[in-house]
C-alpha cells in the first residue's frame, strides 16, 4: 500500500503542484489516509499546495514535523476558536479540543466558530466541521466535556503541547498542575476587554501559579472581550505552539507578555521562578 | 523621593501608563496604590514588581525605584 503510494507520488510531476484532489486521488487508489499521503509526499520533498505558502518561513522537514504533531486546545470560546483555526491552517496533524458548552447569542461578538444559525449547537461539533472544511487531512478529536484535572491524565498524556483557552482561574490552575504532572508544555492565554496576556510554561515552571494562586474566588475583570483582543492573543499562543514543536525562536518562558490594544503596546515582564 | 510608577491594562484607565511621582521616604506599595485610588479588589488581584522583582503591598519603596503593577485577566 505504501509502496504503491510512493510509486504514484514519484510517477507524477507533483513537485510542481500537489493539490488536494491529487492527494484524495492517491488516497482513494491506495487506501491510505490523507495524512499518510501527505507524510509520504513531504518525505519525498513534495509539498501539498495547501502548505506551499508556509515554506520559506518553515522548511519541508518542519512542515512534516507539524503533520506528525498533536496539540490539545482546552476551551473552544473566544481564544480556542481562533487557536484551532490557525493550528488547522498551519497543518498540525492531530488536534484535540475540549468544550462542553453550546453557542449562545452573546458569543457572536468574538467567537470565530459562532454563527447565528448555530445558536444552541455544540461548540465542539462546530469546531470539528470547521477543521474538516479547512483541512480534511487533520485527525480531530472532540472532547465534549468540562476540563478537570482527574480526567485530563488519560486524555492529555499523548499531547505534545496543550493550549490554555479556558475562562476561569480554578480551571487554569488545574490545567497547569495536570500539564506539569504529565510533563507537557502549556501555552497560556487570557483576555479581558481590550487587554490580554500570553505565557508559556514548561513542566517544573510556575508562571501560572504566580499569576493566579490565591485568586480563585475573584472574577478578574469584566465579562466583556473585544474580538481583536481574542484573535491577537490566540495568534500569539499559536506562534508559541509552533516554536515549541519546531524548537525554534524565543519562548515566553518565565515571562508574561501583556497586550494592550487601547494604548497599543505590548510589554514582556520577566517572572523568574519563585524558589521559596 | 522620586518613584517611577508603571501601570498596565485597566489600571491605566483614568490614570496613566508610566509616570515619575514624588513620595515621602518610607512609602509602601499599598500607600502608592491608595494614592492612585486603586480599589481593594484590584489591589488583591494585582501583581506587583519593584525594579523587576516581585514585591507585595507591604514592600517599602526607595528613591528611584520603579514600581510596576499589572492586573492579570482570566477570560477566554
> Could you tell me which residues come within 8 angstroms of residue A146 by beta carbon, excluding any fewer than 6 positions away?
A98, A100
Average pLDDT over residues A162-174: 96
Chain A residues with beta carbon closer than 8 angstroms to that of B74:
167-169, 172, 190, 192, 212, 220-221
Q: Where are the domains of chain A?
A: 2-63, 69-270
At residue A86 the predicted structure's pLDDT band, cuts being 50, 70 and 90, is very high
- What's the average model confidence in pLDDT over B1-17? 96
Residue A196 confidence class, pLDDT cut points 50, 70, 90: very high
B9/A79 CB distance under 8 A? no
Residue A148 C-alpha from the chain's centroid: 19
Nearest to B52 among A169, A211, A270 (CB): A270
- Distances from the Cα of B70 to the Cα of A52, A148, A226, A231, B33, angstroms: 41, 28, 19, 21, 12
Q: Is the pLDDT of residue B62 over 80?
A: yes
Nearest CA in chain B to A264: B9
What letter does residue B28 receive in the DSSP assignment?
Answer: B
Q: Check: CB of residue A193 under 8 Å from CB of residue A267.
A: no
**pLDDT surpassing 80 at residue A41:** yes
Of A80, A172, A269, the CB nearest to B70: A269
In chain B, residues 17-76 whose CB comes closer than 8 Å to chain A: 17, 41, 44-45, 47, 49, 52, 54, 68, 70-76
pLDDT at A217 over 90: no
Residue A4's pLDDT band (cuts 50, 70, 90)? confident
pLDDT higher than threshold 80 for residue B63: yes
Predicted local confidence at residue A12, as pLDDT: 73
Q: Looking at the domain assignment, is residue B46 inside a domain?
A: yes
Matching residue, cell 519603596: B61
Q: Touching check for A213 and chain B: CB below 8 Å?
A: no
Instruction: Single out the residue of A37, A16, A198, A167 nearest to residue A98, CA to CA.
Output: A167
φ, ψ for residue B50 (rounded to 5)?
-115, 120
Give the model's pLDDT for residue A25: 93
Mean pLDDT over the full length of chain A: 94
Whether the CB of A166 is below 8 Å from some CB of chain B: the reply is yes
pLDDT digits (tens, 9 = 90+) for A124-157: 999 999 999 999 999 999 999 888 888 787 789 8
Rounded distance between C-alpha atoms, residue A202 and residue A184, angstroms: 7
- Best probe of the B interface among A227, A228, A260, A264, by most B CBs < 10 A, is A260
Closest CA–CA distance from residue A193 to any residue of chain B (Å): 9
Q: Taking 80 as the threshold, does the pLDDT of residue A222 lie above it? A: no
**pLDDT value at A15 more than 80:** no
The set of cell numbers assigned to A243 is 516554536
Residue B19 in this model has a pLDDT that exceeds 70: yes
User: For residue A14, is pLDDT > 80?
Assistant: no
Strand order of the sheet with strand B47-50?
B18-22, B2-7, B66-70, B47-50, B53-55
- Beta-bridge partner residues of A199: A188
CA angle A81, A85, A87 (to 5 degrees): 115
Q: Which residues pair with A96 in a beta bridge?
A: A72, A141
What's chain A's length in residues? 276
Q: Can you give the residue range of the structural domain that contains B30?
A: 2-70
The more confident residue out of A144 and A14 is: A144
| Count of domains observed in chain B | 1
Name chain B contacts of A168, Cβ cutoff 8 Å: 74
User: What pLDDT is recorded for position A153?
Assistant: 78
Domain presence at residue B35: yes
Out of A123-132, A153-162, A189-198, A241-250, least confident range: A153-162
Please give the CATH number for the structural domain made up of A69-270. Answer: 3.40.50.720
| CB < 8 Å to B9, chain A | 192, 194-195, 258, 260
Query: For B76, which of A190, A195, A210 is closest by C-beta distance?
Result: A190
Across the A:B interface, residue pairs with CB atoms under 8 Å apart total 83
| C-beta atoms surrounding A86 within 10 Å | 20
ipTM, 2 decimals? 0.93
pLDDT score at B12: 96
CATH number at residue B27: 3.10.20.30
The whole-number pLDDT of residue A148 equals 85
pLDDT of residue A276: 61
Specify whether the CB–CB gap between B47 and B69 falls below 8 A: yes
CB contact under 8 A, A75 and B76: yes
In this structure, what are the phi and psi dihedrals at residue B16, rounded to the nearest 5 degrees? -165, 170
Q: Rounded to an integer, what distance in angstroms lies between the CA atom of residue A136 and that of residue A253? A: 33
Residues of B in contact with A260 (CB under 8 A): 8-9, 12
Q: What is the 3-state secondary structure (H, E, C) of chain A?
A: CHHHHHHHHHHCCCCCCECHHHHHHHHHHHCCCHHHHHHHHHHCCCCEHHHHHHECCECHHHHHHHHCCEEEEECCCHHHHHHHHHHHHHCCCEEEEECCCECCHHHCCCCCCCCHHHCCCEHHHHHHHHHHHHCCCCEEEEECCCCCHHHHHHHHCCCCEEEECCCCHHHHHHHHHHHHHHCCCEEEEEEEECEEEEEEECCCCCHHHHHHCCCCCCCCCCCCECHHHHHHHHHHHHHHHHHHHHCCCCCCECEEEEEECCCCEEEEEECCCCCC
Residue A38 grid cell = 501527505
Chain B positions in Cβ-Cβ contact with residue A258 (cut-off 8 Å): 8-9, 70
Q: Does pLDDT of B33 surpass 70?
A: yes
Residues A32-43, mean pLDDT to the nearest whole number: 95
Assigned domain for B75 exists: no
Amino acid at each position: 500500500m505504501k509502496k504503491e503510494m510512493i510509486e504514484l507520488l514519484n510517477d507524477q510531476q507533483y513537485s510542481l503542484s500537489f493539490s488536494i484532489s491529487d492527494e484524495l486521488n492517491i488516497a482513494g487508489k491506495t487506501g491510505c489516509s490523507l495524512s499518510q499521503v501527505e507524510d509520504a509526499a513531504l518525505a519525498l520533498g513534495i509539498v501539498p499546495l495547501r502548505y506551499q505558502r508556509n515554506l520559506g518561513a518553515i522548511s519541508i522537514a518542519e512542515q512534516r514535523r507539524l503533520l506528525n504533531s498533536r496539540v490539545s486546545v482546552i476551551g473552544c470560546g473566544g481564544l480556542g476558536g481562533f487557536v484551532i483555526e490557525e493550528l488547522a491552517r498551519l497543518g498540525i496533524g492531530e488536534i484535540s479540543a475540549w468544550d462542553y458548552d453550546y453557542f449562545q447569542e452573546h458569543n457572536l461578538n468574538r467567537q470565530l466558530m459562532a454563527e447565528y444559525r448555530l445558536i444552541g449547537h455544540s461548540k465542539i461539533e462546530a469546531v470539528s466541521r470547521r477543521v474538516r472544511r479547512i483541512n480534511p487531512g487533520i485527525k480531530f478529536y472532540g472532547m465534549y466535556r468540562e476540563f478537570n484535572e482527574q480526567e485530563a491524565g488519560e486524555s492529555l498524556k499523548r499531547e505534545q503541547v496543550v493550549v490554555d483557552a479556558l475562562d476561569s482561574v480554578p480551571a487554569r490552575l488545574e490545567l497547569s498542575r495536570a500539564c506539569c504532572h504529565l510533563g507537557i508544555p502549556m501555552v497560556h492565554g487570557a483576555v479581558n476587554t481590550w487587554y490580554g496576556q500570553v505565557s508559556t510554561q514548561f513542566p517544573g515552571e510556575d508562571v501560572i501559579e504566580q499569576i493566579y494562586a490565591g485568586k480563585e474566588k475573584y472574577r478578574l475583570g469584566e465579562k466583556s472581550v473585544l474580538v481583536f483582543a481574542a484573535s491577537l492573543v490566540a495568534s500569539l499562543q499559536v506562534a508559541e505552539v509552533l516554536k515549541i514543536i519546531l524548537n525554534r525562536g524565543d519562548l515566553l518562558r518565565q515571562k508574561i507578555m501583556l497586550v494592550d490594544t487601547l494604548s497599543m503596546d505590548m510589554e514582556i515582564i520577566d517572572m523568574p521562578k519563585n524558589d521559596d | 523621593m522620586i518613584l517611577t510608577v508603571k501601570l498596565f491594562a485597566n489600571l491605566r484607565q483614568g490614570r496613566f501608563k508610566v509616570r515619575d511621582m514624588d513620595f515621602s521616604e518610607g512609602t509602601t506599595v499599598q500607600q502608592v496604590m491608595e494614592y492612585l485610588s486603586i480599589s481593594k479588589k484590584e489591589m488583591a488581584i494585582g501583581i506587583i514588581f519593584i525594579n523587576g522583582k516581585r514585591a507585595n503591598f507591604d514592600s517599602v519603596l526607595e528613591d528611584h525605584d520603579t514600581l510596576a503593577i499589572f492586573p492579570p485577566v482570566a477570560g477566554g
